[in-house]
Structures are given as structure tokens and as C-alpha cells.
């Protein structure tokens, strides 16, 4: 992401700093008044309020002083991170560290984001997946006030298929298994994929097996070690009626396991290819040695590079825990195959859902990230396929008769609606926005009106239906046109 000429120079980048860690907030202070009680933030905006805060014992830089509050953010990938306080009511100062409160590496500080702007912005140029950062926000010359801390980071799109290794079992007496989850809106032919095993620091697999079968959206495939197991795992699967396939290659706790396509492009990796971890990957209850590792439900995409710490994306369970095989919950949405195009900021826009798939819950939010930070207008549109309709793609469309857009419309083939009323329309420079969806009144027609003439009718989602979403946004400086499209997702409602 571009820096826009804003100050983001690191100071004392290699210095280790031990930050104060209090067991509880001071009486009358803000809940996140100290490093130890920092508020966890994700991509988007979080409330900022220093009016009831006190001052930490950590020394200030960049002319900050007085009351402060703390936040922590964990990187979603390797794309740059921008943290700012733009739009806040007071003159802010921001300090940033990587690591934990007890052993933090000071990265730098920022007073004014740019000339004429008294709020702060700091850019972390080269994070890694899972890196944690601490953010301290106070005021210039002791100023206090309210506002927001805003985090922008383009979500990784390293795995366009949406397939992930959702469970890993290293059981007693060779009761080993691997589960694959299909996080796409399409049936997947597993014969196009392989599982490969890497021994120690080898860059080449020492075992490989082609997969078989067809995996529908939100379905799992379980593969069990084929030789030497004591049948405990297969007895459990048989008793619960979970289908499985006996798999030929074996793996040990210090091996690296890779899911790849038939062209040997990595889709997801447990471990690190070319790195020997010693006895196993991970520590405590989240290791590959005599434990079950179950992928956390919000994880959408596989990881293919970087340091591997199982605790970031997996929950750990005791040896011979087989009860989760065949039952992966997965994130709220699944991916639609879609060719996304980078915008003028060098990133492609991503779209993800949070909340619930349940119609009865009516709890669904959609977030777009990776929009141009130079400013854009954007909205999210949806699609519903009636009986006899099928999903299709419109390549480089020209919305409104204008120049051809970057990216494709990947949720065509049915009827369209646009979330374009009130706060659902985004105009800004933060790179990300979120809308709350009312599934009892979606802006989508069922009367045959189709792309490129979306209607503005309201309709309720029914359990069992699949609805599709994508984001359109302006990008005046893009080389492929004056607008662009994000990736596309689908929610299969229950």
C-alpha cells in the first residue's frame, strides 16, 4: 500500500523495549489503559477514547504526552499494514512495537500523517502472517479526545481454490488422518490435487499420492493412514457414518505436509518445506506430535509460506481425538472462482463475511478490504439464482456504459440487487468498509431483472438458499479502467 508521503520512518528499529504490564487497569482508567490490557483490533475501525485514560510509564516519542490507550493487531498476511487515527477529534500521537508487552521491538512513531493533518498514520511495510503488533495512542502535548483507530491490510489471496487442510491427526499406534475442507461455492474434483510429504529440510517430497473423489461446497474429505493403524480411528469413523479413504503415504510429526494441485502449485501447507523443526511443529497442546490439530473456523485460505506456528490457525486436542473428523464448520462464506485484478494501489480487493449463516439469527456482516487508499466510492451487490439459472462470469464489463472495468463480475446468471442506501455506500480513503446485512430484506429482486440492470426490490432470504456477493468500486487511476471488482463470495444459508 502506498505511503502517500506520510511519516512512517522507524526509530530504534532494533531496540528491545520492556513495556509495563499491569495485572489490572487503574481505577477509573480505560479498559485498554495499559499494554497488558490492549484491545484487539482487526481490519476495519475500532473506537478510540482517551478522555478517561491515564498515562503509561513508557516514555513518549514524537511529542506525545499524557493519557494513552493501547491496541494490538495480528497480521493477516505479508501485505503492508496501515494503522491510522484519521477522523479522530484530537491531535493524536502513535507509537508502534512488534511482539509482546514483555519483549517488544520498538518500530517507530508518528505525530501527523501529513501536512495539515493532526491525526497519525504508521505503515508496517513487510509483516509476516501471524506477526503481532502493539499500538499506543495518545495526544500531542497531552491532548485527549475520541475517534477511531483504523487498520487497513489487503487480505491474502494465495489460495484461490478455497481448499484447506482442516484437520491433522497424529494418533497412537499410527492412527493418523488428514481432513480437507472445500471452502468454495463449487464442487471440486479431488483428482486434480495431491498430498505430498517432505522429510526434514528436504526441498523435494519423499512421498506423494493423488487424491480421488468429488467434494461439494462446505464438505470434507477424510484420508486415513492405510497401513499399520490399530483400527481405532476407522472404528470411530464407521460408527459415526463418516466416509473416508485409506491413504498410502505416511507422515511423522517432524514432516511437512503439503496440499498442491496437479501442476504442483501449493494450496496449503502444515509445516515449512525445506525446514527441519526437530521433533515436531508447534508447542504445548498445538503440536504435530501425538495431538489433533483442528483448523479454526474463521480460517478461509491455506497458507503456503512463512514460519509455521500451529497455534495461530489451529486448535489443539489430546491424542486420539477423532470426533471432529468429517464435521468442519468452516467460515461463514465460501469463495466463488473469480479472476480479480490488482487496483491502482497494487492490491486486489477482498471480500469476507462474519456472523452467522442462519436465517433465524439475521446476523451477517460483509467486509471489503484492499481498496485504493487514494480514495474510492464502492458498494456491494448481490445475486440470487432462481430455478434453472446457473452462475456465470461477465469478463471485463463496462458498468454504466463506461470504460471496461478491471476484474470480472463472477456472480452473473441470476438477478441482481445493490446495497446502495445510506451507510452501505462507501466513500473514503481507509481501504476497507463493512456493511450489516438484513437477511429479512435484501435489496435483490426475484422478478427476472438481470445484470446490468439491477433492481432495488426487497426480499427475504430463505433457509437452504445460496446468495452471492461482490464489490464494485471506482479506481480512477487504474490502468484497466475507471472501476474494478473485488473477489466474490457466497453464503449457503441454513
Reported confidence tier of residue 57, pLDDT bands at 50, 70, 90: confident
Q: What is the mean pLDDT of the chain?
A: 83
Task: Say if residue 258's pLDDT is above 90.
Answer: yes
Q: Residue 10's pLDDT is what? A: 28
Q: Residue 448's pLDDT is what? A: 46
Q: Is residue 174 part of a domain?
A: yes
d(CA 482, CA 374): 13
174 in helix, strand or coil? Answer: helix
Q: Is residue 249 part of a domain?
A: yes
User: 271 versus 1: which is more confidently predicted?
Assistant: 271
311 in helix, strand or coil? Answer: helix
390 shares a domain with 285: no
Beta strand spans in 245-317 (E): 245-247, 256-261, 266-270, 282-283, 286-287, 292-295, 314-317
137 shares a domain with 168: no
d(CA 7, CA 111): 8
Weakest-pLDDT range from 68-82, 210-224, 457-471: 68-82
Q: Residue 8's pLDDT is what? A: 27
Q: Residue 481's pLDDT is what? A: 57
Q: Residue 317's pLDDT is what? A: 93
Task: Say if residue 18's pLDDT is above 70.
Answer: no
Q: Residue 23's pLDDT is what? A: 30
307 shares a domain with 271: yes
User: 443 versus 298: which is more confidently predicted?
Assistant: 298
Q: Residue 487's pLDDT is what? A: 92
* Pair 110, 7: CB distance under 8 Å: yes
CATH number of the domain to which 131 belongs: 2.60.120.380
Q: Please give the full DSSP string across 135-165, using - where no structure is assigned.
A: EEEEEETT---EEEEEEEEPPP-S-TT-EEE
User: 311 versus 388: which is more confidently predicted?
Assistant: 311
Task: Say if residue 130's pLDDT is above 80.
Answer: no
Reported confidence tier of residue 489, pLDDT bands at 50, 70, 90: very high
Q: Is residue 3 part of a domain?
A: no
Domain range for residue 181? Answer: 163-317
User: 192 versus 476: which is more confidently predicted?
Assistant: 192
Sequence-distant (6+) residues with CB within 8 A of 138 are 50, 55, 60, 64, 65, 66, 67, 68, 69, 92, 93
* Pair 415, 448: CB distance under 8 Å: yes
Q: What is the mean pLDDT of residues 200-215?
A: 88
CA dist 214 → 71, 210, 241, 427 (Å): 44, 13, 18, 42
171 shares a domain with 134: no
Q: Is residue 9 part of a domain?
A: no
- β-pair partners for 490: 334, 468
Q: Is residue 428 part of a domain?
A: yes
Q: Is residue 329 part of a domain?
A: no
68 shares a domain with 178: no
d(CA 65, CA 56): 10
Q: Residue 490's pLDDT is what? A: 94
Task: Say if residue 97's pLDDT is above 80.
Answer: yes
Q: Residue 152's pLDDT is what? A: 81
170 shares a domain with 147: no
CATH number of the domain to which 222 belongs: 2.60.40.1260
338 shares a domain with 297: no
* Pair 84, 4: CB distance under 8 Å: no
Task: Say if residue 3's pLDDT is above 50.
Answer: no
Q: What is the mean pLDDT of residues 322-331?
A: 91
Task: Say if residue 175's pLDDT is above 70.
Answer: yes
Q: Residue 476's pLDDT is what? A: 65
DSSP 413: S
Q: Residue 158's pLDDT is what? A: 39
**Count of structural domains, the chain:** 3
Q: Look at residues 129, 152, 175 and tell me which one is the last residue of a structural domain.
A: 152
417 shares a domain with 291: no
User: What is the tens place of the pLDDT at every residue in 390-428?
Assistant: 888 888 787 766 777 888 899 988 878 888 878 889 998
Question: Which grid coordinates belong to 185?
Answer: 461455492
CA dist 192 → 138, 167, 178, 213 (Å): 53, 20, 17, 10
- β-pair partners for 50: none
Reported confidence tier of residue 355, pLDDT bands at 50, 70, 90: very high
347 shares a domain with 297: no
* Pair 175, 182: CB distance under 8 Å: no
Question: Which grid coordinates belong to 454?
Answer: 439491477
User: 152 versus 78: which is more confidently predicted?
Assistant: 152
Q: Residue 232's pLDDT is what? A: 86
Q: Look at residues 291, 317, 343 and tell me which one is the last residue of a structural domain.
A: 317
Q: Residue 303's pLDDT is what? A: 87
Q: What is the mean pLDDT of residues 334-357?
A: 87
Q: Is residue 85 part of a domain?
A: yes
Reported confidence tier of residue 5, pLDDT bands at 50, 70, 90: very low
Task: Say if residue 488's pLDDT is above 90.
Answer: yes
Q: Is residue 322 part of a domain?
A: no
Question: Which grid coordinates belong to 246?
Answer: 485409506
- β-pair partners for 197: 207, 257
Q: Look at residues 152, 172, 203 and tell me which one is the last residue of a structural domain.
A: 152
169 shares a domain with 204: yes
Weakest-pLDDT range from 1-5, 56-60, 373-377: 1-5
Q: What is the mean pLDDT of residues 14-37?
A: 51
191 shares a domain with 110: no
Q: What is the mean pLDDT of residues 323-344?
A: 88
Task: Say if residue 59's pLDDT is above 70.
Answer: yes
Ramachandran category for residue 278: left, alpha or beta (phi over 0 → left; psi -120 to 50 → alpha) = left
User: 189 versus 43: which is more confidently predicted?
Assistant: 189
* Pair 371, 349: CB distance under 8 Å: yes
Question: Which grid coordinates belong to 204?
Answer: 523435494
Q: Residue 157's pLDDT is what? A: 39
- The answer to whether the peptide bond before residue 452 is cis (omega within 30 degrees of 0) is yes
Task: Say if residue 92's pLDDT is above 80.
Answer: yes
Q: What is the mean pLDDT of residues 437-451?
A: 68
197 shares a domain with 289: yes
Ramachandran category for residue 382: left, alpha or beta (phi over 0 → left; psi -120 to 50 → alpha) = beta
Q: What is the mean pLDDT of residues 339-349?
A: 82
Task: Say if residue 262's pLDDT is above 60.
Answer: yes
Give the pTM: 0.65
Amino acid at each position: 500500500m502506498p505511503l502517500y508521503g506520510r511519516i512512517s520512518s522507524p526509530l530504534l528499529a532494533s531496540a528491545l523495549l520492556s513495556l509495563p504490564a499491569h495485572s489490572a487497569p487503574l481505577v477509573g482508567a480505560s479498559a485498554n489503559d495499559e499494554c497488558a490490557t490492549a484491545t484487539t483490533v482487526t481490519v476495519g475501525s475500532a473506537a478510540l477514547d482517551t478522555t478517561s485514560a491515564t498515562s503509561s510509564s513508557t516514555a513518549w516519542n514524537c511529542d506525545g504526552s499524557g493519557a494513552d490507550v493501547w491496541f494490538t493487531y495480528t497480521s493477516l498476511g505479508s501485505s503492508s499494514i496501515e494503522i491510522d487515527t484519521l477522523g479522530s477529534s484530537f491531535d493524536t500521537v502513535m507509537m508502534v512495537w512488534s511482539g509482546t508487552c514483555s519483549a517488544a521491538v520498538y518500530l517507530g512513531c508518528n505525530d501527523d500523517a501529513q501536512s495539515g493533518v493532526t491525526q497519525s498514520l504508521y505503515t508496517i511495510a513487510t509483516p509476516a502472517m501471524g506477526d503481532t503488533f502493539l499500538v499506543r495512542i495518545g495526544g500531542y502535548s497531552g491532548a485527549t479526545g475520541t475517534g477511531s483507530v483504523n487498520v487497513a491490510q489487503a487480505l491474502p489471496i494465495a489460495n484461490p481454490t478455497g481448499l484447506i487442510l482442516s484437520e491433522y491427526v497424529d494418533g497412537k499406534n499410527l492412527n493418523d488422518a488428514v481432513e480437507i475442507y472445500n471452502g468454495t461455492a463449487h464442487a471440486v474434483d479431488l483428482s486434480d490435487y495431491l498430498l505430498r510429504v517432505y522429510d526434514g529440510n528436504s526441498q523435494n517430497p519423499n512421498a506423494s499420492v493423488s487424491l480421488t473423489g468429488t467434494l461439494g461446497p462446505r464438505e470434507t474429505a477424510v484420508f486415513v493412514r492405510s497401513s499399520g493403524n490399530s483400527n481405532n480411528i476407522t472404528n470411530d469413523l464407521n460408527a459415526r457414518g463418516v466416509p473416508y479413504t485409506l491413504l498410502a503415504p505416511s507422515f511423522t510429526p517432524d514432516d511437512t505436509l503439503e496440499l498442491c494441485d496437479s501442476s504442483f502449485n501449493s494450496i496449503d501447507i502444515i509445516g515449512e518445506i525445506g525446514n527441519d523443526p526437530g521433533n515436531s511443529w508447534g508447542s504445548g497442546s498445538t503440536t504435530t506430535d501425538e495431538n489433533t490439530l483442528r483448523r479454526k473456523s474463521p480460517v478461509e485460505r491455506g497458507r503456503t509460506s512463512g514460519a509455521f506456528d500451529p497455534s495461530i490457525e489451529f486448535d489443539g486436542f489430546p491424542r486420539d481425538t477423532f470426533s471432529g473428523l468429517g464435521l468442519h464448520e468452516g467460515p461463514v462464506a465460501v469463495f466463488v472462482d473469480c479472476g480479480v485484478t490488482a487496483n491502482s494501489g497494487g492490491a486486489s480487493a477482498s471480500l469476507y463475511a462474519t456472523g452467522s449463516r442462519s436465517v433465524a439469527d439475521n446476523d451477517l456482516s460483509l467486509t471489503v478490504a484492499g481498496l485504493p487508499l487514494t480514495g474510492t466510492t464502492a458498494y456491494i451487490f448481490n445475486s440470487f439464482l432462481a430455478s434453472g439459472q446457473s452462475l456465470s462470469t461477465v469478463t471485463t464489463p463496462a458498468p454504466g456504459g463506461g470504460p471496461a472495468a478491471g476484474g470480472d463480475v463472477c456472480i452473473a446468471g441470476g438477478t441482481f440487487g445493490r446495497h446502495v442506501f445510506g451507510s452501505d455506500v462507501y466513500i473514503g480513503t481507509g481501504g476497507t468498509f463493512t456493511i450489516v446485512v438484513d437477511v429479512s430484506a435484501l435489496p435483490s429482486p426475484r422478478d427476472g431483472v438481470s445484470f446490468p440492470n439491477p433492481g432495488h426490490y426487497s426480499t427475504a432470504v430463505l433457509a437452504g438458499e445460496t446468495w452471492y456477493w461482490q464489490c464494485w468500486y471506482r479506481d480512477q487511476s487504474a490502468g484497466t479502467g475507471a472501476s474494478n471488482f473485488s473477489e466474490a463470495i457466497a453464503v449457503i444459508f441454513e
